[in-house]
């Protein structure tokens, strides 16, 4: 049996999974600031992967660390890079390779899942909302600060607002709740605005495929068809690896 190790190296966390061609055998995650130690421990007893595919948006130092961690195996890592066309998805970015590999993998996974127009939402350190047409065309997307970044930016640049633990309320009656609720509303509003724009193109209301650490919180506030799908980037990496090999795992 051959195994694929898929790695999603994001700004905050590294998520990984070992796939046997049918399902995930093992999965894990580590914060970027402790990833080397934890991944070395978690990968120590893994079956040797025949293929390794990585989406890395965390910079060159993280790439070097991942290369060192993967050097225990014979397989050379394949680094995911967005292209003009892959796995049934056409990339209409002005410079296709400029699109983040995590966004590209998530779009491919969503297309594989939906086979129709949808919005692909990743709600993490930043939130991306990417539009797919009914024929698998990536039309473009937006990037906005995630909830924590919004809170930090607001309190760091105002004299009287302080960062505190807040809760979501329709009508906040404290500063902490107002900042927190404002961030959630801004994220939900950005998604719903993109729903309106894509609906006009598709002629039907698109589903929203939502992933990321803030996904459950965001989902609760969306007034549009949406569902949380875990590990969307990892699923897309499996599809990319299969196409590159010319055969399923």
Of the candidates 20, 23, 45, 102, the residue annotated as catalytic is: 102
DSSP labels for 82-121? --SEETTEEE--SSGGGS-HHHHHHHHHHHHHHSS-EEEE
Answer whether 239's CB lies under 8 Å from 112's CB.
yes
Select from 7, 13, 125 the least CA-distant residue to 73.
Answer: 7
Residue 30 contacts by C-beta under 8 Å, 6 or more apart in sequence?
Answer: 13, 14, 38, 39, 42
Active site annotation includes 102: yes
Distance separating alpha carbons of residues 64 and 98, to the nearest angstrom = 20
Distance separating alpha carbons of residues 141 and 148, to the nearest angstrom = 21
Six token digits for residue 55: 């989406």
List, by residue number, the catalytic residues.
102
């Amino acid at each position: 049996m051959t195994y694929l190790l898929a790695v999603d190296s994001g700004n905050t966390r590294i998520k990984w999974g070992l796939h046997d061609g049918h399902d995930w055998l093992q999965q894990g995650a580590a914060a970027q600031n402790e990833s080397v130690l934890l991944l070395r421990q978690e990968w120590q007893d893994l079956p040797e992967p025949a293929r390794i595919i990585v989406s890395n948006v965390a910079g060159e130092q993280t790439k070097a660390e991942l290369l060192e961690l993967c050097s225990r195996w014979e397989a050379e890592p394949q680094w995911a890079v967005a292209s003009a066309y892959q796995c049934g998805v056409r990339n209409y970015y002005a410079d296709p390779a400029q699109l983040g590999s995590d966004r590209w993998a998530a779009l491919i996974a969503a297309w594989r899942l939906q086979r129709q127009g949808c919005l692909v939402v990743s709600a993490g350190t930043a939130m991306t909302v990417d539009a797919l047409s009914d024929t698998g065309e990536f039309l473009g997307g937006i990037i906005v600060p995630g909830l924590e970044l919004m809170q930090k930016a607001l309190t760091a640049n105002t004299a009287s607002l302080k960062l505190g633990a807040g809760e979501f309320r329709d009508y906040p009656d404290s500063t902490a709740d107002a900042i927190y609720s404002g961030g959630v509303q801004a994220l939900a509003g950005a998604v719903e605005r993109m729903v309106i724009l894509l609906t006009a193109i598709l002629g039907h209301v698109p589903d929203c495929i939502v992933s990321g650490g803030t996904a459950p919180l965001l989902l609760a506030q969306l007034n549009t068809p949406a569902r949380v799908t875990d590990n969307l980037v990892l699923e897309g990496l499996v599809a990319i690896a299969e196409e590159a090999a010319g055969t399923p795992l």
